[in-house]
Structure 1
Amino acid sequence: MKRNYALLLLLLLTAITVFISCKKSIDHKNDYDRSHDSWMSFKKSSNNSYSYKVSSGSWTGTSSETVITVKDGKVTNRSYVYKIPGEKPVSQPIVKEEWQEEQVKLNTHSAGAATLTLDDVYQKAKTEWLLKRKDAETYFEANNNGMISTCGYVNNGCQDDCFNGIKIVSILKSN
């Protein structure tokens, strides 16, 4: 009987060790860590109040921008603009959709970037977008004073509009 308990305990400890050592690793870990440090410094200096602009575009020429505003660590506003290519030869983009959501009406529109704080963005980067994958190319850039600008992946073999992640074009302190 004691032998069965010892064997059970050994199996349990082995399973725990395997589980702990199987933590998912991420691509661009050193770049991510440096960027996260920049974020922590910015967060402190801005009193966790800032705005950031997410952009997206398609091979068809359509594009969108979403501005997320955060005050004291909570999303308070989201604005969105969707544009299509204009008529040639002038080719000025045409605004097809534009709106703004205040805090009490956040997420009432389906379009636009998710209402994430930068803490949420960094968490999602670490647990989803930067995970090592055999079947995808992973991207990470930190061109916003060391903070995330591009973070995500593209599955191998995908041809058009395949980026899974976020592209942040600016991060600004709020007044």
Structure 2
Amino acid sequence: MKTAHNLFLFAFATLIFSCVPEDAHLGNTTDKFDSLTYEESIEKWEILKAENSDGYSYKIEFQSFAGFGNVTEIIVESGEVVERNYQEYTRDLNTNEKNIVEEYNEKGASVGSHEKGFSPLTIDELYETCLQDYLEVDSEANQITFETNDLGIISTCGYFPYNCADDCFIGFSMSSFEWID
């Protein structure tokens, strides 16, 4: 009888684990298994930044399950933020059409003059903010997330409190990144 019980447990475990994809890493809940670690990513960033004259643009986007959101574009030249563009929107839940509610453009000395929108940070400052504000939170109370894009550059950093249901992500998620010539 004990042999039959052990055989059943073995067969059950085999069935369960055979359903897990080969490239899955147990414990990773982001479906992005090729993401670099923080340390690997910041090393990669330093190399890429030097190769590309530290000029780039990126967008940070927030989208609520309830149909509203915003996107902030940051433009950096020679390591300095020179422009910030913001767009706040709602989405028609039937057509998924984006309706602009508010927008602005800041250039030069006016960068950072509006309250709404993602802070005008360089990628270097994003790495610092990520480490200081998001990766060091209590992992017992939060699901901590760090992801990189296909270049190996930071793209998502933050956390979800375990006891929260909707729109609970605290941090940032980059929707695009481009080098500027």
Normalising by the residue count of structure 2, what TM-score does the alignment of the two structures yield?
0.75
Amino acid across the alignment from 1:121 = L
Paired residues for 1:1-175 under 5 Å: 31-86=37-92, 88=94, 90-133=95-138, 134-175=140-181
Sort the Cα spacing of 1:111 and 1:144 in 2 relative to 1 into closer, same or farther, 3 A.
Answer: farther
Moved over 2 A (4+): none
Distance in 1 of aligned mates of 2:103 and 2:129:
27
The Cα shift of 1:91 comes to 3.1
The DSSP-based 3-state class of the residue aligned with 2:116 is coil
**Which consecutive unaligned segments of at least 5 residues does structure 1 have?**
1-29
Question: 1:144, 1:170 within 8 Å by CA — same for their partners in 2?
Answer: no
The Cα shift of 1:35 comes to 1.0
Bigger fraction of residues in helix: 1
For these two proteins, the number of residue pairs brought into alignment is 145
The DSSP-based 3-state class of the residue aligned with 1:145 is coil
Question: 1:144, 1:169 within 8 Å by CA — same for their partners in 2?
Answer: no
Amino acid across the alignment from 2:97 = Q
Distance in 2 of aligned mates of 1:82 and 1:127:
27
Question: 2:65, 2:166 within 8 Å by CA — same for their partners in 1?
Answer: yes
| Identical pairs, percent | 30
Distance in 2 of aligned mates of 1:108 and 1:144:
32
Amino acid across the alignment from 1:97 = E
Amino acid across the alignment from 1:78 = R
